[in-house]
Copies of this chain bind each other. A is one copy, B any other.
Amino acid sequence: MKIDFKHEITLRVRYSETDQMGYCYHGNYAQYFEVSRVETLRHLGVSYKHIEEQGFMLPVAELSIKYKSPAKYDDALRIQTRMVEMKGARLEFDYTILNEDGKIISTAQTTLVFVAKGTMRPTPPPNSFVKLVQPHEQK
């Protein structure tokens, strides 16, 4: 099922997240995408915390990032997240990071997989989740 559900958050680069190049360390972006993804889910109507409490987990299976421009300390980055597809146990998101001037810092894709907490085997998403997503199907 193709989906079109978007959300944007703003997140400041922390001092701890810079490196001696004077930029935000590239490895921190995975964290930023996750923070943004969690807020996107919350905006959809579900907390990721609640998904885990229901006995599901949603680990990342694939992550792909392009670094276009460096982000700097104290930049208030805009992280745009779009849920783009749900297929079986898989859930796909696209991301764009912009700085305050609207310059593209990074683009990325992730594939997540619903797994059952006990077995860690892929499993379809909970019905309550599917119901929240369906109104955002892209036709």
Q: Are B59 and A23 interface neighbours, CB within 8 A?
A: yes
**Nearest CB in chain B to that of A67: its residue:** B61
Cβ of A57 under 8 Å from chain B: yes
A34 nearest in chain B by CB position: B15
- Chain A 5-30 residues near chain B, CB threshold 8 A: 12, 14-16, 18-23, 25-28, 30
When the two chains form the complex, which single residue of B14, B30, B57, B59 contacts A35, counting CB atoms closer than 8 Å? B14
Count of A residues near B, CB < 8 Å? 37
**How far in angstroms is the closest Cβ of chain B from A64?**
4
A66–B62 CB distance below 8 A = yes
Report chain B residues within 8 Å CB of A14: 31, 34-35
A-B contact pairs, 20 of them (CB 8 A): A12-B35, A15-B20, A15-B25, A15-B38, A16-B25, A16-B31, A19-B19, A20-B20, A21-B59, A26-B60, A27-B27, A27-B30, A27-B34, A30-B30, A48-B74, A61-B66, A62-B64, A63-B67, A64-B64, A64-B65
